Structure 1
Amino acid sequence: MDQCEECGFGYPGVGAADVPLRLRGFAQRYAGALAAAADVRRRPEPDVWSPLEYTCHFRDVLRWQRDRIELALRADAPEFVPMGRDELVITAAYNRQDPAAVVDGLAAAADLLATAFAALGPAELARVGRYPWPEPVERTLLWLGRHTVHEGEHHLMDIARG
């Protein structure tokens, strides 16, 4: 995947040096998106997440991606297991979490992931792991960084249109 058909995000437009900067910028943007929402817990449709659920999801994406980097640095061509995104909305009770704590957790996770990406050189960024979405395929760590930036941008769009 190099381009998102739905939001227009272009993966090649995000360089390795951009990834940490873009990741660190998300906390403030998600805080603003939640502040602008009329009701952070309201789902616009039964099968569309609330602004708080999208924010919790992205916080957890940041955490999972950091774990995946660590795994890819330890193992050759690891298999990245799916995070169970739809299950986590329910089992982690996303819509009952405190929005301020969620934004704080997102900021901390974004900073940790940004720091991890900033420490990677070209050889590490070229390491691969088998990524489960949209279908299992080998992806580089640079792609993983770009994809994480895409996730952040895409879900901000989801919140805004909800």
Structure 2
Amino acid sequence: MTEPSTAGAADPGPATPDDADWTWVLTRPCPDCGFDATALTVGEVPAALRDAATRYAVRLAEPDARTRPSAGIWSPLEYTCHARDVSDVMRGRLEQILDGAGEQVQFANWDQDETAVQEQYWRADPTTVQREVTAALEAAATTYSRPVGDQWEWPALRSNGSRFTARTLALYFVHDIRHHLWDVNA
């Protein structure tokens, strides 16, 4: 285990970048976290996001929240900062789809690893991040409550060419949030 960082601590070094295309979780269960997109309806997404907010907040209260389990692997604090930021990105992406009114929209690229370094996730205050992740997931849950009927099938394109609908984006998003709960044992 690496030593816990503190607010003034030096950069612990980069995490191992995740450049995998996780869109496959839309068609088969994740062997790590067990998420199965076919077992979740879009109507359940807001509750899943709110449940995750509680679980992240509880995990950040544990004494090892700043501790990286090994070199190159984010600490629970860093994963929670990522969950906060991905919640904002995915909320914005759904808003973009809804604003597109059924026309295909294209998402701007978002580099999660670059964001972690720029925002210095390892220096974040766990108490502040508890509030922020709760607010971000609540805002996302509210936004994911908005689509109705055919709006769930409105299209989008990610910068790498992956095709989404509002529905598949919702399921992809929930997997990301749940997978990182699995990463931090929450």
> TM-score, normalised to structure 1's length?
0.90
- Which of residues 28, 33, 38 in structure 1 aligns to 2:59? 33
Paired with 1:52 and 1:71, the residues of 2 have a C-alpha distance of: 29
Q: Does 1:101 align with 2:128?
A: yes
- Which of residues 129, 141, 163 in structure 2 aligns to 1:138? 163
Of structures 1 and 2, the larger Rg is shown by: 2
CA RMSD for the aligned pairs? 1.6
Question: 1:43-122 counterparts in 2 under 5 A?
Answer: 43-75=68-100, 76-122=103-149
Contact 2:91 2:143 in 1 (8 A): yes
Paired with 1:27 and 1:16, the residues of 2 have a C-alpha distance of: 18
Paired with 1:80 and 1:108, the residues of 2 have a C-alpha distance of: 23
The one-letter code matched in structure 1 to 2:58 is G
Runs of 4 or more, structure 1, over 3 Å off, are none
- CA deviations on 1:38-90 (whole Å, 9 max, x unpaired) are 42222122211111000000010100011101111223212222321011111
> Which of the pair is proportionally richer in helix?
1
Q: Which residue is equivalent to 1:149?
A: 174
Contact 2:155 2:163 in 1 (8 A): yes
Paired with 1:104 and 1:136, the residues of 2 have a C-alpha distance of: 34
* CA apart distance, 1:149: 1.2
Q: Which residue is equivalent to 1:10?
A: 36
* CA apart distance, 1:29: 0.4
* CA apart distance, 1:35: 2.3
Paired with 1:18 and 1:57, the residues of 2 have a C-alpha distance of: 22
How high is the sequence identity, in percent, across the aligned residues? Answer: 34
